[in-house]
């Protein structure tokens, strides 16, 4: 029986009466010294006013001390293994972005978990030493922008923002109705109804120069409509005209690609030669082409012809540079 289970039992017994030390020892099936340590933990770490009542011959809850904040245990009790998993998850969440936009909001959880384990900051430090998160291609965003967009998203309010187009570099004024925040490939995106273009668009949060929340209610789009718009093709770029890319990977690279997730509706099969043929739907070639090129000579674009041509043009431009 771990400490959390013992604390749960002690808490239950104290709410039903005034158990003696021997009664607690019997219920917990531990030594006298362990019971004493658990009581000290409740008093000193959780700051709960537990005391020994001589008249009753047992322990009971005393009146709380003025100005002392108690640390209440949650209704759901966790084992040590579950807390280690939660600590690791906290570490992962805190490192979702280079700006640490979520970190300060979940630091109290880390402190709470450490107290539950009774090991100060040692457990959290061990997680940081043993779990390495190496994010590539992260783009920094402003914390205040993320928080304001998240607030407007939940309050269902419109946003007024200055947005810089990555291709043109032009900054435009946009009024949008936020629908969904998406964390994709180390970066944050906002799926929103653009009132300027009168259609659903994806906005990269790092490209937002200024943003403010408006009083007007957001234009509502159903989750089904969002999935139909943004979940059809490959990557973050959307479009209604889908094509299917057929890619053949060498036997050497096939062992890796066959285990990768490219799209919800992807199709793949091994050939007798050991090569792997992958088929994915796409509406915009840009992101798909970048993923093809990173495999170099190990990836052949079988079709369609338009995608083969895009890759050929990109490769010819690279050859001219080098």
Mean pLDDT by 10 residues, the chain (322 residues): 78 86 91 91 81 88 62 50 68 60 65 58 61 70 87 94 87 95 86 94 93 96 87 73 94 93 92 96 91 94 95 90 80
Q: What pLDDT shows up at residue 55?
A: 87
**Cβ neighbours of 239 (radius 10 Å):** 13
Q: What pLDDT shows up at residue 80?
A: 60
DSSP state of 146: H
Q: Angle at CA 200, nearest 5°, toward 218 and 194? A: 55
> Per CATH, the architecture of 143-230 is what?
Roll (2.30)
Q: What pLDDT shows up at residue 186?
A: 77
161-169 long-range contacts, CB within 8 A, separation 24+ = 161/203, 161/208, 161/209, 161/210, 161/211, 161/212, 162/208, 162/209, 162/210, 162/211, 163/203, 163/207, 163/208, 163/209, 164/207, 164/208, 164/209, 165/207, 166/204, 166/207
Q: For residues 189 and 182, is the Cβ–Cβ distance under 8 A?
A: yes
Among 226, 234, 233, which Cα is nearest to 153's?
A: 226
Q: What pLDDT shows up at residue 71?
A: 46
Q: What pLDDT shows up at residue 233?
A: 77
Token couple for 316: 């010819």
pTM for this prediction = 0.62
CATH number, domain 3-61, options 1.10.3720.10, 3.90.550.10, 1.10.10.10, 1.10.630.10: 1.10.10.10
Q: What pLDDT shows up at residue 76?
A: 44
Q: Where in the chain is the domain with CATH 2.30.30?
A: 143-230
Instruction: Quote the crossing angle between the two packed helices 285-293 and 305-321, to the nearest 10°.
Output: 60
Q: What pLDDT shows up at residue 128?
A: 63
285 Cβ partners below 8 Å, 6+ apart? 306, 307, 310
Q: Where in the chain is the domain with CATH 1.10.10.10?
A: 3-61
Q: What pLDDT shows up at residue 9?
A: 86
CATH number, domain 243-321, options 1.10.1450, 3.10.20, 3.30.70, 2.60.40: 3.30.70
């Amino acid at each position: 029986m771990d400490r959390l289970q013992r604390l749960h039992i002690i808490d239950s017994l104290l709410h039903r009466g005034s158990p003696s030390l021997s009664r607690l020892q019997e219920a917990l099936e531990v030594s006298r010294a362990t019971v004493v340590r658990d009581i000290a933990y409740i008093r000193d770490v959780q700051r709960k006013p537990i005391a020994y009542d001589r008249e009753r011959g047992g322990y009971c809850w005393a009146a709380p001390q003025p100005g002392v904040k108690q640390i209440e245990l949650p209704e759901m009790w966790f084992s040590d293994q579950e807390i280690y998993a939660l600590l690791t998850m906290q570490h992962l969440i805190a490192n979702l972005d280079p700006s640490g936009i979520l970190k300060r909001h979940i630091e109290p959880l880390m402190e709470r978990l450490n107290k539950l384990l009774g090991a100060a900051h040692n457990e959290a430090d061990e997680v940081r030493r043993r779990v390495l998160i190496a994010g590539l291609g992260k783009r920094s965003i402003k914390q205040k922008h993320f928080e304001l967009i998240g607030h407007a998203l939940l309050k269902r309010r419109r946003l007024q923002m200055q947005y810089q187009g990555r291709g043109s570099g032009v900054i435009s004024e946009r009024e949008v109705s936020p629908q969904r925040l998406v964390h994709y490939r180390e970066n944050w995106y906002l799926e929103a109804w653009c009132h300027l273009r009168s259609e659903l668009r994806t906005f990269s949060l790092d490209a937002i120069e200024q943003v403010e929340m408006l009083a007007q209610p957001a234009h509502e789009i159903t989750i089904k409509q969002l999935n139909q718009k943004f979940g059809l093709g490959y990557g973050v770029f959307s479009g209604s005209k889908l094509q299917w890319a057929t890619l053949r990977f060498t036997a050497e690279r096939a062992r890796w690609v066959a285990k990768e997730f490219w799209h919800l509706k992807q199709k793949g099969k091994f050939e007798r030669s050991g090569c792997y043929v992958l088929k994915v739907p796409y509406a915009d070639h840009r992101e798909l082409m970048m993923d093809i090129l990173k495999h170099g000579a190990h990836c052949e674009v079988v079709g369609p012809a338009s995608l083969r041509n895009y890759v050929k043009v990109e490769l010819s431009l690279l050859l001219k540079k080098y």
